[in-house]
Structure 1
Amino acid sequence: MNFENPILFFICSLGVFNGFLVAIYFLLFNKQKRIPNFLFGLLVLFLSIRIGKSVYRIFMPKEMIDITIMQIGLSACFLIGISLFYYLKSSIENKQQIPKSWKLHFLMLFLIIITVGIVKPYKSNYEFWGTFIWVIYSTWGLYLIASAFILKDIFYKLFSKVEKCTTAEYWLLAVLIGNILIYIAYIIGYYYLYFIGTITFSLVFYGLLFFFLSKNNRETIFRDIPQKYAAKKIEDTEATELIDKLRILIEKDELYKNSDIKLQKVAKELQLTSHKLSQLLNDNLGKSFSVFINDYRVEEAKKLLKESDKLTLEAIGYEAGFSSKSNFYATFKKVVGKTPSEYKSQF
């Protein structure tokens, strides 16, 4: 294929061109001197080189193809996975500098691909690279799996009805899913339509760009994720007193029955900051505020299921403080291990 298909060439090459611009910006000109931003720049750079190699192969006449460019593209592919993995890890952990072990890890893979390229250059070892490409793709795939594991807590929040993901967390999920789609497209393209990988890259790139265009998103996804709690731990004696006061307040006024109860309101009643109440719950009870309140609601629902024959299951859920039938059923099943109807049938 060559330039005779201008629309396809435009779509493929525009994504690569803009990918290089984004990579240069994050590597050299980004004012937010964050480690995750630098690693994101590396990720986009290696992806752009790999996709650029594909565009070059597709649209350049066969007799004019430079084999060295082909080797550079495949070599860059070897470093995509590790760049993604450490970008996500550094974002989750708010790294302020790159650990020495990360640098050694990068250096090891870099030396491996450089050594292979010198000892077995693509130009004179075409069959070798035809096999070695599966080592490259396997390495990329393993890092994708490791990257998904890094985001396991965010995946849990994504499907949880108790906690919601932040914008920054949605962004990390989008970056991971985008990379998975590109990876799958290249595996499929190896056997069927080679250019599907370049098309997928462009679609993913502009999908992420659309996500980024919102001002609120821009101000969130490339800045540090705020730390939830202060480094200073609440003393055990103080924590015990505060927890007792919290339980008395919740139980006396049955605040859990209010489906709109907010952490801020409870903190104000206890004369605490919202930040300190969150820290108290997470550090000393191992629960978020919503989980803490839902535990009370579940206990109330259990009591009503035992004692009341007049209320429907849905009415019991609302009476206990749940905001919806689906939220009641999901939370009850998660805590008790049975649905409300299964629990009621015991009595």
Structure 2
Amino acid sequence: MSTEGWPEGAYLLRLDAENGHQRYVPLIVRSATARGRTLLMHAAATWQAYNRWGGYSLYAGGDGSYGTRSLAVSFDRPYDSNGAEKFPVYERAAVALAERLGIPLAYTTGMDVHRDPSVLKGATAVISLGHDEYWTPQQRRHVTEARDAGANVAFLGANACFRRIRLEPGPGGALRTVVCYKSGYRSDPALADHPTMPTNDFRSPPAPAPESALTGVLYEGYPTDASYVVHNADHWIFADTGVRTGDSFAHLVGVEYDRVTPDAPTPGPLEIVAHSPLICKGRSSHADTAYYTVPSGAGVFAAGTMRWVEGLMAGTRENGRNHGLDARTGAFVTRATENVLRAFSAGPAARTMPVPEDNVSRVYGRTAAGPGAAR
């Protein structure tokens, strides 16, 4: 199918069969450049990692077990279930909100940022959507370089930039295969020639590079269901939301979450603006929403909960029961996201918005380790 002449954007196509059956196809008509625009970066590699079409994903094999999982998955197959994969839950609502705001937008995928980082040049902001788990080292390097050149970065979810992957050519020669050995990385035949590029978690040996050096937060756990608790109601992110410090929003933290981890490499100054107590697998912890800036002036926002984009639909029934999220939560998440997108679309956030107050030591009783620290 040719998309020549189509406007750049994120599409969800619906296929209707004569017998009444329907399937969806998510499609990104990517932008050649994001100069002067906010770049929405869709998580196609993560869609494919979870895709069970043909009986195999990076999580389970034909018998449903982790031991028989695939170690490589191809884009040369449709998505299972209704075909929409994670786009309706973790991406669509954020795209719709950004488009309603009328800010200049561009569209791409993490795969395309890996292939050609020129799309990032001159971007005002890069937006990672609600479930953006699988990144190549090249994609991460390119986004980090964009941040250091002044592009703001927002992570509207949790568990972002967690799995380190390799892209390999498919039958036609293009990079159509996502490789991730995870805990079996020692069996990867490419490891001998590329010892610093294992296909396991970014934070793990033999080449540890915790995602917090970019995101400001670390993925910590699954599953949880907890209230989101505002720590600093006066922060510009929460402007016009009407919240007070200590206000909470039931069920907004889940099903996976991130937190600021002082022992991990973390840029600064970094401010925790929401600090939400939770229990995950019997252990008490917190989820954190955090914001930091870097010398280029770029600001980085991390929501710290995978339900942030789902929260944009709270109270609308657009996402089924939506974990019990209510309309009050929907209004809060919508306004906070609008604040981030508007500020980030105006250029390096440190030039127009208040500098973050580094409060990690006050919240956790110790200071962040800094970007060069080892974990």
* Bigger relative CO (Cα 8 Å, ≥ 6 apart): 2
* TM superposition score normalised by structure 2: 0.22
Which structure features the higher share of strand residues?
A: 2
Q: Which has the greater radius of gyration? A: 1
* TM superposition score normalised by structure 1: 0.24
